Amino acid sequence: MKKFLSRFFPLIPAAIIILSTMFSHSCANTTQAPTGGLKDTIPPTIVKVSPKPGTVKVPVSGTEVIFTFNEYVTVKDPKGIYLSPPQVKPPKFKIKGKSVVVYFEEDLLPDMTYTVDLTGAIADNNEGNLFPGYTTWFSTGEVSDSMYITGSVYDCNNLMPVKGATVMLYKDHADSAVFLKRPVAAVKTDDWGFFSLRNIKDTLYRAYAVVDANNNNMYDPDEDRIAFLDTLIKPFHVVDEDVSELKKYDMKDTVACLARKSDIDLVVFREKPSKQFLNNKKRLSDRSAYITFMAPEARIDSLWFKGFPSDKVISEFNIQQDSLLLWINDASPMPDTLHLFVNYWKTDSLGVLSPVTEDYKLIDENKPKGRQQRKKVEHADTVCAITLKAAPETFEQDGIIMEFTDPPFLGDFDTLLFKSINPKQVEQEEHFRIERDSLNIRRYRITPEVQIMQGYEYVFKVPQRSFRDINGFWNDSTQVKVSLPNGENLSSFTLDVTNVDRKYIIEMLDEKKSKVLREFIIDSDRSLLFPYLQAGKYCIRITEDANRNGIVDTGILLRHRQPEKVRFLRTNDSDTFDIPERSEITQSLNLMEFMGKMKEE
């Protein structure tokens, strides 16, 4: 035993030291978690580019562009690696150490200056910090092109910047070039809709912007939105790396991004489809159906249902004339399948409009079948359906809207009742006008002929069995009640419009531009009142209604017709403005001067 202790005794102190060290670390871990240092928030930076920017006589085959960073990176968005002029196939890449190697599956063009842009493509490998971007350039010829153009791309409806649009330049000035060819220079817009097309030739170009759905760097009218410049453009800036418009910024740096100057502005729109054909049809109910066309302004020579005289068919086109509602005004039982014949002008295989007659079977899929199904028919299925709408905020301007689901066949408008109820609950029958909508044969507007008073309640009533629709059903009694908004904190905004030289649509929208709160269509000087406003931010949208049809018409590229101009009333460099509580604000607007200035800008 003594031998055993004496043999191992020298090891005991060492064991104690090791155990105490282990336990001391264990105790430390129970009170404080180990730290890994500060989080890396710095994006990667480029330390080397090969071939160097501005290199000439670069081989057309087998060329690779190598971007070496100060840390390991990953390609977050391959579409952010963009070659200009673009090829049929997009650039490919591979990661090699701290480098991103960009290569091309097609040969480059001879005597051409190329740019490779990395905006939004690269992030560091650990924290995902996004690399702001970088553009390098090289030439397969003897010299590099050195001019540049800047600009911004906006949406035609709300003038918001369009991110990711492809801005394209063509030396071929033919209208067909954007449909058939890839551009000689192109670039993607950033989050602010801004672009800089750099290292381009000093020559005349046609400029387009395409929201390119399939990324083929050409314009596909059925899929893409487009913008075009009315005139040819020639660059007048020489590339200088110190120019702010050519630098890459963090998109959250609002001040720096907004400070950049644009040479041109492009407004994207969606063209009306050019090919005309009947693309959809459906039986809605026993006696109703609809058909839709691919393009607006459908030309129909005749249509009829088999077994029914043409004078028994009621039709209603929408304002774009690309959708048609149909009803059969006949009391006889309807067959399970209606046969519709349409004689209209259709685009043939050569792209020419030619008259054709097509027939369609419209099956009533909702028709009850069998004894058990017939028992499930609801009361709502057997009445003439009427909806009444009246919004407190717009009651004075728009009145009450009465709309039938199916056209009324018989009606007694003298039975309709409109009354006011004052704060003392005294009722008074009031006079009103009723007018059918010129575009919707089922919609009527009821306009009170009495001054609408604050604190009064107004009731519009449709008594039972006042109307019978084409199905033979009578209406149930229905009514709507409405009062003007009432609140001490409400405000109003008045826009005094002068020098109105044509027809305009003027709308008040919410801050997000997603909802129209009130609309006026004017063609002369007027004072426009926007009452009953909650405190908040609003904007005024002004649309030039050139063809006076009451809607915003899109552009047509081949006719060089821009979309109808949309502008927002701007105050303090913003297109939104504040309405405080309990305020009455008046703004004057010289419309001709305002629209003229916007055109110059």
CATH number at residue 52: 2.60.40.1220
Instruction: Express each pLDDT in 191-240 by its tens digit.
Output: 999 999 999 999 999 999 999 998 999 999 888 999 999 999 999 999 99
Same structural domain, 349 and 395:
no
| pLDDT in the model for residue 170 | 97
Query: pLDDT at residue 112 above 50?
Result: yes
| pLDDT in the model for residue 371 | 55
Query: pLDDT at residue 13 above 90?
Result: no
Check which CATH number belongs to the domain holding 396 and give it.
2.60.40.3710
Q: What confidence tier does 26 reach under pLDDT thresholds 50, 70, 90?
A: very low
Same structural domain, 527 and 441:
no
Query: pLDDT at residue 19 above 50?
Result: no
Query: pLDDT at residue 109 above 90?
Result: yes
On whether residue 39 sits in a domain, the answer given is no
On whether residue 285 sits in a domain, the answer given is no
Instruction: Express each pLDDT in 556-584 by its tens digit.
Output: 898 899 998 889 998 877 889 999 999 99
Instruction: Express each pLDDT in 121-144 by its tens digit.
Output: 999 988 888 999 999 999 999 999
Same structural domain, 256 and 158:
yes
Nearest to 162 by CA among 79, 219, 224, 240: 224
The angle at the Cα of 105, spanning 102 to 111, to the nearest 5 degrees, equals: 85
Same structural domain, 457 and 344:
no
Q: Which residue's structure tokens are 């490779």?
A: 116
Tokens coding 27 = 């105790």
Same structural domain, 154 and 263:
yes
Same structural domain, 245 and 189:
yes
Query: pLDDT at residue 243 above 90?
Result: yes
Domain assignment of residue 561, given as a range = 491-600
Q: What confidence tier does 34 reach under pLDDT thresholds 50, 70, 90?
A: very low
Instruction: Express each pLDDT in 474-530 by its tens digit.
Output: 999 999 999 999 988 999 999 999 999 889 999 999 998 889 999 999 999 999 999
Report how many domains make up the chain. Answer: 5
On whether residue 368 sits in a domain, the answer given is no
Q: What confidence tier does 4 reach under pLDDT thresholds 50, 70, 90?
A: very low
| pLDDT in the model for residue 376 | 63
Mean pLDDT over each residue of the chain, to the nearest integer: 89
Same structural domain, 417 and 460:
yes
On whether residue 375 sits in a domain, the answer given is no
Angstrom CA distances, 525 to 103, 506, 517, 544, 596, stand at 62, 12, 21, 15, 17
Instruction: Express each pLDDT in 64-75 by its tens digit.
Output: 999 999 999 999
Angstrom CA distances, 564 to 225, 241, 267, 552, stand at 15, 38, 11, 6
- CA-CA-CA-CA torsion for 37, 41, 47, 53, nearest 10 degrees? 180
Which of 332-336, 491-495, 545-549 is least confident? 545-549
On whether residue 506 sits in a domain, the answer given is yes
| pLDDT in the model for residue 597 | 55
127, 39 Cβ separation under 8 angstroms: yes
Boundary residue ending a domain (139, 156, 191)? 139
Instruction: Express each pLDDT in 402-444 by its tens digit.
Output: 999 999 988 899 999 999 999 999 999 999 999 999 889 999 9
Query: pLDDT at residue 46 above 90?
Result: yes
Instruction: Express each pLDDT in 81-90 by its tens digit.
Output: 999 999 999 9
On whether residue 332 sits in a domain, the answer given is yes
Same structural domain, 402 and 504:
no
- Three-state SS for 147? strand
Tokens coding 318 = 């929408």
On whether residue 346 sits in a domain, the answer given is yes
| pLDDT in the model for residue 550 | 72
Sign of dihedral through CA atoms 553, 556, 559, 565? positive
On whether residue 153 sits in a domain, the answer given is yes
| pLDDT in the model for residue 370 | 58
Same structural domain, 159 and 235:
yes
| pLDDT in the model for residue 31 | 35
Q: What confidence tier does 28 reach under pLDDT thresholds 50, 70, 90?
A: very low
516: left (phi over 0), alpha (psi -120 to 50) or beta: beta
Boundary residue ending a domain (122, 139, 156)? 139
The DSSP code sequence of 69-128 is: ESS-EEES-GGG-EEES--SSPPEEEEETTEEEEE-SSPPPTT-EEEEE-TTTEEETTT-
Check which CATH number belongs to the domain holding 205 and give it.
2.60.40.1120
Q: Which helix (H) or strand (E) holds 417?
A: strand 417-421
Same structural domain, 259 and 302:
no
Distance CA 300, CA 313 (A): 14
Same structural domain, 151 and 234:
yes
Check which CATH number belongs to the domain holding 555 and give it.
2.60.40.10
Query: pLDDT at residue 27 above 80?
Result: no
Same structural domain, 227 and 204:
yes
Tokens coding 228 = 């075009």
Amino acid at 3: K
Nearest to 557 by CA among 183, 276, 225, 228: 228
Boundary residue ending a domain (462, 483, 504)? 483
Q: Which residue's structure tokens are 């913008």?
A: 227
| pLDDT in the model for residue 377 | 63
| pLDDT in the model for residue 559 | 86
